[in-house]
Amino acid sequence: MIIEKSAVAGTLESSDAQVTVEPAENGIELEISSSVMNQYGRQIKATVLETLDRLDVKNGRVTVVDKGALDCTLKARVECAVFRSCGQSDKNLPWGGAVK
Amino acid sequence: MKNAVGRDIPEFLLKDGREVYQGKNYMDGKYLQKAAPRTRRYEKPQESKIVDSIVDALKQVGAKSGMTFSFHHHLRNGDFVVNMVMQAAIEEMGLDNITIAATSLGEAHDPVAQYIEDGKVVGIQTSGIRGKIGEVVSAGKLKTPAIIRSHGGRPRAIEAGEVHIDIAVVAAPTSDCVGNCRGIGGKSNCGSLGYAMTDAKYADHVIVVTDCLVDFPNMPASVEAIDVDAVVVVDSIGNPKKIASAAARISQNPRDLMMAENVAKVIASTPYFKEGFSFQTGVGGPSLAANLFLEKYMDERGIKMGWAIGGICGPMVEMLKKGKVGKVIDVQDFDLDAVNSINQTPGHYEMSASQYANPANKGAFVNKLDFVVLAALEIDTGFNVNVLTGSDGVLRGAPGGHPDTAAGSKCCIIVTPLVRGRMATVCKNVVTVTTPGDCVDVLVTDYGIAVNPLRPDLIKCLDDAGLPHVTIESLQEKAYSLVGTPDDLEWEDKVVAVLEARDGTILDVVRKIKPLKL
């Protein structure tokens, strides 16, 4: 998928994560801040990159403000932000398709 | 050197006979030489000890750089007095090299963080350390490692002379002109003044700060005029709204209630649950709700509670008034119901921190305790509990009476949800050990109950009562399966805080955290 415009998913509530994606040219630029950085920072990074890879996103600026979200939440927020950025969330959501 | 809970204590801390933690009751039977204060004689009769300002009081008692000031935390997050006195000492009198020995410090004392950064305050000794003070100490900005003690460990250290208090400051809701103090009868009431009592007896000098001057004699006095040098009357010692909440409400959260009910079931399954049993509970959601369910079992069996201690709040006072508990003895009050009851409701008494929890006296109340119900930030598979450091390694909690009641009681129950957000409460290794696992008996979570294998007798009690329980390892595995396995925190060498066990040995240290860079 190609990030066509800026899009956001998620909130800043506890146990959620707010993911912002923006168009960019040279690969993935990832910025993460987290309330559980010291213990889960590496895992958050791995989960976000893995989800982007599954969605076949090659380029984009991705900002994650994590408030202690579980992996499933993080994946859902990344997916939703990417879908919103390329009009995919208007119709034909690929539930369980592009996202395994 | 590794201690009995497997923590590596750096050698430089083990001087002057200081030892690492060796296990419960290690100091039993040893002798202690008590320290004595050097106090000034006021032989010539004084009509009044009132002085105009805090600076005048400090000058009168000879405040100098390098001194240790003590404070108590009954005004909790509403306290103005620590900041007022520090401002007078540091900004108006220009003192530095100051050590603050407080029973607890919190967000109300954020201005002190600046004095630490400026190098004016060089030592902190406390039970609670939260807010900005916790952050700057964690960042390694305090000149000497902070010393964290339990509520019982503190009077022990004072009596042993390990902390010598030059000036004790008593924040008094009411005082008379010569310094008889009470926690009630004024406009900033806090009820018990239990934590200030040992300080007042062992400090060289005592200054009373009050916002409500009452007629002499202010009786029965919690801190007595015979120990007081000077009295200062100020506009306000604290914000009453933050001193005591309207009423501690019992949780409606179904998860809390389920855990609370299981706590009550565990209690009811033991042989200690009989006529005249004794009890302490915290004021956290599930701990407080345990009161409610316990009452049901007490009615069923037709038994009454003999006595309860602790930080006290409304629901316990309610039980006292209903005649379901014989006596309530408290060191601190958490809500207005408790504040308005102490020394008023028959059977509701005040006690000092030493009487409450000191392991080096001849028998504190905690030693006679049957049950205590406590919370935890983390508990590991060795039943070690952390109530001090957050998952990011920053100081933001308080051992309080946790280690004291856990060690003294016959059955210590920890109640906590299995996970909080992404944090696994039940984990492999707690960040900091504040209560050693050999003092903790039962863990109640929303995913099951675990009993410490050191207590086969309690395991049998639960089995006989048909209460299902699992191993703590299986709870930890369940937690990690939900939130993922956490990475270990990474630390620098610098020790920012020393955690003293209640007996004075070293239980753990907190180092400066190394921030994770991705």
Q: In this structure, are strands B506-513 and B146-148 parallel, antiparallel, or unpaired? A: unpaired
- Distance of CA B237 to CAs B124, B232, B321, B334, Å? 22, 11, 31, 17
Q: How many residues does chain A have?
A: 100
pLDDT score of B432: 97
Domains in chain B, ordered, with CATH?
51-243 (3.40.1080.10), 254-486 (3.40.1080.10)
Domain assignment of residue A97, yes or no = no
Q: How far is residue B297's CA from residue A53's CA, in Å, rounded to a whole number?
A: 57
Cβ separation A70–B483 shorter than 8 A: yes
pLDDT tens digits, B374-429 = 999 999 999 999 999 998 899 999 999 999 999 999 999 999 999 999 999 999 99
In B82-173, at which residue ranges do the beta strands (DSSP E only) sit? Answer: 98-102, 104-105, 121-126, 128-129, 146-148, 167-172
Strands (E), B416-505: 419-420, 423-424, 426-427, 442-445, 448-451, 491-500
Determine how many CB atoms are found less than 10 A away from the CB of residue B256: 21
Strand arrangement, sheet containing B146-148: B50-51, B230-233, B205-210, B167-172, B68-71, B98-102, B121-126, B146-148, B491-500, B506-513
- Residue A100: inside a domain, yes or no? no
Q: What pLDDT does B100 receive?
A: 98
Average pLDDT over residues B176-194: 96
Residue A92 lies in a domain: no
- Residue B284: the pLDDT is 77
> Residue B436 is encoded by which pair of tokens?
């050693």
**In this predicted structure, what is the pLDDT of residue A98?**
61
Window 49-78 of A: residues touching B by CB (8 A cutoff) are 67-71
- Whether A2 maps to a domain, the answer reads no
Is there a domain that residue A44 lies in?
yes
Q: Who among B482, B483, B489 is closest to A38 (CB)? A: B489
Report which of residues B282 and B49 the model is more confident about.
B49
Place of tokens 């750096």: B10
Nearest residue to B261 via CA among B373, B410, B338, B370: B373
- pTM for the predicted model, two decimal places: 0.94
pLDDT tens column, B206-226: 999 999 999 999 999 999 999
Q: Are B518 and A45 a contacting pair at CB < 8 A?
A: yes
Q: Please give the interface size between A and B, counted as residue pairs whose CB atoms are below 8 Å apart.
A: 54
Q: Which chain B residues touch A73 with a CB distance below 8 Å?
A: none
Q: Is B468 helix (H, G, I), strand (E, B) or coil?
A: coil
- In sequence order, what E strands does B37-166 have? 50-51, 68-71, 98-102, 104-105, 121-126, 128-129, 146-148
Residue A96 domain-assigned? Answer: no
Percentage of chain B beyond pLDDT 70 is 99
Q: Which chain B residues have a beta carbon less than 8 Å from that of A42?
A: 487, 516, 518
Q: Identify all chain A residues contacting B487, using CB atoms and an 8 Å cutoff.
A: 38-43
pLDDT in tens, B329-344: 999 999 999 999 998 9
Is residue A1, in this structure, part of any structural domain at all? Answer: no
Q: Mind listing the pLDDT tens digit for each residue in B26-76?
A: 999 999 999 999 999 999 999 999 999 999 999 999 999 999 999 999 999
Question: How does pLDDT run across B491-505, given as a tens digit for each residue?
Answer: 999 999 999 999 999
Q: Is the pLDDT of residue A97 over 60?
A: no
pLDDT of residue A96: 59
Nearest Cα of chain B lies from the Cα of A64 at a distance, in angstroms, of 13
Whether A42 sits inside 8 A of B516 (CB atoms) is yes
CATH of the domain at A63: 3.30.230.10
Domain total in chain A: 1
Whole-angstrom Cα distance, residue B79 to residue B98? 20
pLDDT at A27 (0 to 100): 95
The reply to whether residue A71 touches residue B484, judged by beta carbons under 8 angstroms, is yes
Domain boundaries, position A34: 7-85
Collapsing DSSP to helix, strand or coil, B399 comes out as coil
